[in-house]
Amino acid sequence: MSKVNIPQLVSILKDILPIGFNALHEPNLKGNELKYVTDCIESGWVSSVGSYVDLFEEKLAEFTGMKKAIVVVNGTAALHMCLKLVGVIENDEVLIPTLTFVATANAVTYCGAIPHFVDSEEESLGIDPIKLDAYLEEITIIRKNECFNKLTGRRIKALVPMHTFGHPVNIELLVKIAEKYHLELVEDAAESLGSYYKGIHTGNFGKIAALSFNGNKIVTTGGGGAILTNDLEIAKMAKHITTTAKIPHKWDFIHDCIGYNYRLPNINAAIGVAQLENIDYFLTSKRKLANQYIDRLSNVQGLSVYKEQEFSESNYWLNTILLDINNIYQRDEILTELNNQGIMSRPVWKSLHTLEMYKDCPRMSLEGAELLEKRIINIPSSVLLGEK
Ligand SMILES: *Cc1c(COP(=O)(O)O)cnc(C)c1O
């Protein structure tokens, strides 16, 4: 019932954080990044092929426990290719949470398909599986092993869960739903490198998954992304279509379909290799910080700090305050005060179904997401903050 005591919140955060301005999430480039980039420049291998590209792909597959990783130019491109590779085509619908970064919906649109927005739950901050099942039961019909939306007549081809701020969604239930309704499961794991569901790395649960290495993510390559899969055929196709679909030949230019130039330059992959060498340290440090927030802020009335579910291990990419429902009117005042105090804080994205270009897309009732949107505040989460 009680409202948030904002001066108390500020004073506890200041006590946890170093003196001065604290960014929401800044990269940590203190390992071999400079050495490997220098190596690219000195050797001349700065562009779209090179040994760091291959090495980064190997290390990513090893770290995530997946058979193959194909690195690409950014996470949005990775998602676009994932959807294409599972067969999403023009006029299909793709189920995605409304509470996600805009790239998830944009990737669907790049395929000529239509985002179909689904609701989120407080437990995981991701798709609400129970609600989704009930909704699909009502609005879909299965014909010849394909799922159709009875209201629009369009095929629903895929389901794209996203692991919000690195916290694993209730993926096991979503896998069952995907099977029940004949949907391809594509994981948007852009935020969840280093996050595990029942001991299995996120990205392993569908046919294919996407990672991002944007500057604000847990591991960065400046800009970059990756496609993850356990299917060797899909992996081969992924490499082919993201590298202009060129048939290997000593001197001739033969391309066997419309490919994409989505290659990650070697110079970016070099940064990625160095980053992965330190990922265990990143994860440990972020967990220390998250535990401090959880412990210390439990003394503040009127809010809670999001904590991973028992069966999951979060990378705690972005730490999250959840205001009690009665205190949502305080959100903007808290955001203003924290930012004024040099504690960089942000609300979650605007629900995608409220954006102009997506406002007419099909959707279920989205009360869960709408409420979460008013309750979430992200607070500083950089690796170095766990060191204090
Ligand atoms: C960052 C992000 C992406 C896109 O990645 P980019 O590398 O920025 O293109 C996609 N989905 C989610 C949920 C993200 O957070």
Could you tell me if 7 and 375 are in contact, meaning their C-beta atoms sit under 8 angstroms apart?
A: no
CATH of the domain at 65: 3.40.640.10
* 123 in the same domain as 195: yes
Residue 234 is encoded by which pair of tokens?
Answer: 């899909």
Cβ–ligand 1 contact at 206 (below 6 Å): no
Ligand 1 test: best mutation among 71, 76, 211, most atoms within 8 Å of CB?
76
Could you tell me if 343 and 377 are in contact, meaning their C-beta atoms sit under 8 angstroms apart?
A: no
Residue 1 resides in a domain? no
What is the C-alpha separation between 134 and 127, in angstroms, rounded? 13
Residue 174 resides in a domain? yes
Residues in the chain: 388
Residue 266 resides in a domain? yes
Residue 139 resides in a domain? yes
Confidence of residue 41 (pLDDT cuts 50, 70, 90): very high
* 288 in the same domain as 218: no
pLDDT for position 50: 86
Could you tell me if 166 and 139 are in contact, meaning their C-beta atoms sit under 8 angstroms apart?
A: no
Cβ–ligand 1 contact at 225 (below 6 Å): yes
Cβ–ligand 1 contact at 323 (below 6 Å): no
pLDDT in tens, 125-137: 999 999 999 999 9
Could you tell me if 348 and 23 are in contact, meaning their C-beta atoms sit under 8 angstroms apart?
A: no
Residue 126 is encoded by which pair of tokens?
Answer: 């991701």
* 13 in the same domain as 117: no
Handedness of CA 93, 203, 72, 241 (dihedral sign): negative
* 111 in the same domain as 96: yes
What is the C-alpha separation between 84 and 70, in angstroms, rounded? 15
Cα of 190 from ligand 1 centre, angstroms: 5
Could you tell me if 267 and 46 are in contact, meaning their C-beta atoms sit under 8 angstroms apart?
A: yes
112: left (phi over 0), alpha (psi -120 to 50) or beta: left
Stretch 48-75: mean pLDDT:
96
Which percentage of the chain shows pLDDT scores above 90? Answer: 97
What is the C-alpha separation between 203 and 201, in angstroms, rounded? 6
pLDDT for position 387: 80
Stretch 171-189: mean pLDDT:
98
Confidence of residue 49 (pLDDT cuts 50, 70, 90): confident
Amino acid symbol at 85: L
Last residue of a domain, one of 223, 255, 277: 277
What is the C-alpha separation between 109 and 92, in angstroms, rounded? 10
Last residue of a domain, one of 239, 259, 277: 277
Neighbours of 77 (CB within 10 A): 25
pLDDT in tens, 282-322: 999 999 999 999 999 999 999 999 999 999 999 999 999 99
Q: Is 131 a catalytic residue?
A: no
Cα of 214 from ligand 1 centre, angstroms: 7
* 139 in the same domain as 285: no
Confidence of residue 1 (pLDDT cuts 50, 70, 90): low
Last residue of a domain, one of 222, 257, 277: 277
pTM of the model: 0.97
pLDDT for position 125: 98
Residue 151 has pLDDT above 90, yes or no: yes
Ligand 1 test: best mutation among 214, 268, 271, most atoms within 8 Å of CB?
214
Domain count within the chain:
2
Catalytic one of 157, 217, 236, 359 = 217
pLDDT in tens, 347-379: 999 999 999 999 999 999 999 999 999 999 999
The gap from C-alpha 29 to its chain's centroid, in whole angstroms, comes to 21
Domain that holds residue 160: 33-277
Residue 21 resides in a domain? yes
CATH of the domain at 375: 3.90.1150.10
* 221 in the same domain as 300: no
pLDDT for position 359: 98
* 301 in the same domain as 226: no
